Amino acid sequence: MFSWFNGIGTGATIIGLLLSKPIAERIGKKPLFLYGLIGTVVFTAAFILLPANNLPLIITVGALQQFAYGFTIPLLWAMMADVADFSEWKTHRRATAVIFSAIIFGLKAGLGFGGAIGGYLLSAYDYIPNADQTTHALLGIRMTASIYPAIGFALCAACLWFYRIDKTTELEMSAELTERRATFVTPLPTAP
């Protein structure tokens, strides 16, 4: 059943990925990212309520969680580029490499800390690998797979409220940067 859970979840992620661009073009990147995060919070937290023996329900909720999260994957990278453009728009200096490297460093550090936090949480619930788990350890496994990641996604959604680049700003910024960049282009000499 684990392969069904992963396969259906991956398919749901791909559908979310494919729908992300057309929906973002209609409603904007920030709102869709926020909706994707909120959906991810709801369906991730829902895992704590699911009975362990209801595999079809677990697979369905997992697919819905992956579908909601699928919207956010391409938007994250597109919004990073928007941040680089926003910086250029405000400062008149292009700093794409610095901005992307700082963001990627933050992502990598977050992955490292997230893995460590997961391990510490399981340890706090007295999880012992390759052994029959106590009721307390089983609760820790369920919390670490549901409530705790949902809290992390909720914090991300809360941080998104401070993201200032909306669809209107993006269009204004893009038009002005295109105009500015056109003045930097030197025409090639024509051949005799």
Question: 172 to each of 44, 81, 130, how far by Cα in Å?
Answer: 36, 15, 57
Other beta carbons less than 10 A from residue 87's beta carbon:
16
Percent of the chain with pLDDT over 90: 82
Q: d(Cα 128, Cα 137) in Å, to the nearest integer? A: 8
Tokens of 126: 């007295």
* Each residue's pLDDT tens digit, 18-45: 999 999 999 999 999 999 999 999 999 9
Spell out the residues 6+ positions from residue 58 whose beta carbon is closer than 8 angstroms to its own. Answer: 5, 47, 50
Please report where in the chains the tokens 């809360």 appear, as a residue.
Answer: 158
Residue type, 143: M
pLDDT of residue 87: 92
pTM, full prediction: 0.85
Mean pLDDT of the chain: 92
Give yes or no for a contact between 133 and 141, defined as CB atoms under 8 angstroms apart.
Answer: yes
Residue 190's pLDDT band, with cuts at 50, 70 and 90, is confident
Q: Indicate the angle between helix axes 29-46 and 147-160, nearest 10 degrees.
A: 160
Please report where in the chains the tokens 């700003």 appear, as a residue.
Answer: 169
Give yes or no for a contact between 89 and 176, defined as CB atoms under 8 angstroms apart.
Answer: yes
* Each residue's pLDDT tens digit, 42-63: 999 999 999 989 999 999 999 9
* Each residue's pLDDT tens digit, 119-160: 999 999 999 999 999 999 999 999 999 999 999 999 999 999
Other beta carbons less than 10 A from residue 57's beta carbon:
13
